């Protein structure tokens, strides 16, 4: 009385199912591929470019360059090492920092 009868559906043709399922799976993966492509060009590629520019800047450091560290400290490069450098932050005061901590090279004469 309250239960309706259930009828089985007919099976789809075998030739239509084989060709259609490949197209369906390809179309269902298309948004995922497009999303990865957009993320690559919006996030990954600019970050790689910025990292490459930073590495070039750090490799080009020379004695006497005026720099800003990642912590915001200003100073003049006094000595250079392989992975670190001495930064003169005041007259006669030098600190050791890692080369990668240099955030920006300032124009000459910026620090008074």
The CATH number assigned to the domain holding 108 equals 2.30.30
Shared domain check, 66 and 34: no
Output Rg (C-alpha) for the chain, integer angstroms.
31
Contacts of 81 by beta carbon, 8 Å cutoff, 6+ apart = 99
Q: Is 47 helix (H, G, I), strand (E, B) or coil?
A: helix
- Do residues 46 and 78 both lie within one domain? no
31 plus 71 within the same structural domain: no
**Does the pTM exceed 0.85?**
no
Domain match, 68 and 85 both: yes
Angle at 94 between CA 89 and CA 96, to 5 degrees: 105
Same domain flag for 17 and 30: yes
What tens digit of pLDDT does each residue of 11-67 get? 766 555 455 688 888 888 999 999 999 999 999 999 999 999 999 999 999 999 999
């Amino acid at each position: 009385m309250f239960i309706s009868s259930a009828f089985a559906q007919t099976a789809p043709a075998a030739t239509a199912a084989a060709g259609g399922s490949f197209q369906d799976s390809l179309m269902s993966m298309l948004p995922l591929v497009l999303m990865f492509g957009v993320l690559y060009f919006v996030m990954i590629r600019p970050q790689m470019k910025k990292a490459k520019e930073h590495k070039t800047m750090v490799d080009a450091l020379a004695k006497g360059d005026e720099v800003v560290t990642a912590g915001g400290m200003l100073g003049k490069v006094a000595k250079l090492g392989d992975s670190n450098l001495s930064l003169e932050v005041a007259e006669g005061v030098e600190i050791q920092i890692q080369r990668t901590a240099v955030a920006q090279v300032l124009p000459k004469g910026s620090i008074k």
